[in-house]
Structure 1
Amino acid sequence: MASAPPQGKSGGAAAQAPLAQSEMYRNYNFVLRLDATEVRFTECLGLGVRIEPIRYRESGAGSIVRALPGPVDYAEAVLRYGLTATPDLWTWLQETVDGTVRRRNVTISQLDNDGTTARINWNLYGAWPCQWSGVPFDALGREVAIEELHLAFDRLDRS
Structure 2
Amino acid sequence: MAGEAQDKVWPLPKFYFQVKVADQEVAFQEVSGLDIEAQVVEYRHGNSPEFSTIKMPGIKKSSNVTLKKGVFKGDNFFWDWFNKIKMNTIERKSMVISLLDEGGNPTMTWTLINAWPTKITGTDMKSDGNEVAVETMEVAHEGITIANS
TM-score with structure 1 length normalisation?
0.80
Instruction: Say whether the 8 Å CA contact 2:32–2:67 is kept in structure 1.
Output: yes
Corresponding position: 1:50 with 2:37 = yes
- Deviation per CA, 1:38-72: give whole Å up to 9, x if none: 11111001111111010122432232421111121
Structure 2 CA distance for partners of 1:41 and 1:22, relative to 1, 3 Å:
farther
TM-superposed deviation, 1:139? 0.7
**Who is 1:107 aligned against?**
96
1:95 is paired with a residue whose SS is coil
Instruction: For 1:67 and 1:125, locate their aligned partners in 2 and report how far apart those are by CA, in whole Å.
Output: 28
The CA RMSD over aligned residues, in Å, is: 1.8
Q: Is the 8 A contact 1:55 1:66 kept in 2?
A: yes
Write out per-residue CA displacement over residues 62-92 of structure 1, whole angstroms, 9 at most, x where no aligned residue: 3242111112111000000011122212211
Instruction: Tell me which moved more, 43-52 or 59-68.
Output: 59-68
Q: Which runs of 5+ in 1 are unaligned?
A: 1-18
For residue 135 of structure 1, what is the aligned residue in structure 2? 123
**In 2, distance between residues paired with 1:82 and 1:61?**
60
The equivalent residue for 1:121 is: 109
Q: How does 1:1-159 map to 2 (within 5 A)?
A: 20=7, 23-58=10-45, 59-85=47-73, 86-96=75-85, 98-99=86-87, 100-114=89-103, 116-159=104-147
What secondary structure is seen at the aligned counterpart in 2 of 1:92?
helix
**Cα distance in 1 between the residues matched to 2:10 and 2:79:** 37
1:16 aligns with none
SS in structure 2 opposite 1:62? coil
Q: Output the amino acid matched with 1:107.
A: V
Instruction: Give the C-alpha shift of residue 21 in structure 1.
Output: 8.0
SS at match of 1:61: coil
Q: CA deviation at 1:20?
A: 4.9
Task: Sort the Cα spacing of 1:81 and 1:22 in 2 relative to 1 into closer, same or farther, 3 A.
Answer: farther
Q: Which runs of 5+ in 2 are unaligned?
A: 1-5
The number of residue pairs the alignment matches comes to 139
Q: What SS class does the counterpart of residue 84 from structure 2 fall into?
A: helix
Cα distance change of structure 1 residues 54 and 146 upon mapping to structure 2, 3 Å threshold: same
Match of residue 3 from structure 2: none
**What is the identity, as a one-letter code, of the residue corresponding to 2:146?**
R
